[in-house]
Amino acid sequence: MRIPSPPLDYPAGPHYCVFHVHGEPIVDEVYYKVLTTEPDGTPRIEAAFGPLIYRLTNVATGATVDGDASASGMAIHHDDGSTTHLAHGPLMVGFREGQGNLPRGYYVIDGPAWRLDISPDNHRTVSGAYRIRQNLCDDLS
């Protein structure tokens, strides 16, 4: 199933960069499949694959950069409201100040087998075989 990726808007301040970032998908060919569901029909485990590239803009300066979010992987939704993402390849991931194991920023994280855990209160922990391919905030500064 195809679900179009939405535009992104992260205002300056509490979000990932110290400036307002706007993003538009310029390549969007991601396919999703629900692998398992809860008894009420809500997704429990989902898979996704396909190219996704966002053009990101520093709204204040007009600077742009393309960010790759084309990872293949699965999202596992837990009963407590947390989510585990198991990924292969690049994905754009934002970290707020004090809410993750990476410094505040918006990154392209890449690797052959990595994991992103998001707690119910949005604390993010990346682990496994990953590397930071790109710091999008730095590139847009």
For 125-135, what is the mean pLDDT?
97
Look at residue 136 and give its three-state secondary structure.
helix
pTM of the model: 0.92
Q: For the chain, how far is it from start to end, CA to CA, in angstroms?
A: 36
For 9-27, what is the mean pLDDT?
94
Least confident segment among 9-13, 29-33, 34-38, 70-74: 9-13
Mean pLDDT of the chain: 96
pLDDT at 3 over 90: no
Residues 97-122: pLDDT tens digits?
A: 999 999 999 999 999 999 999 999 99
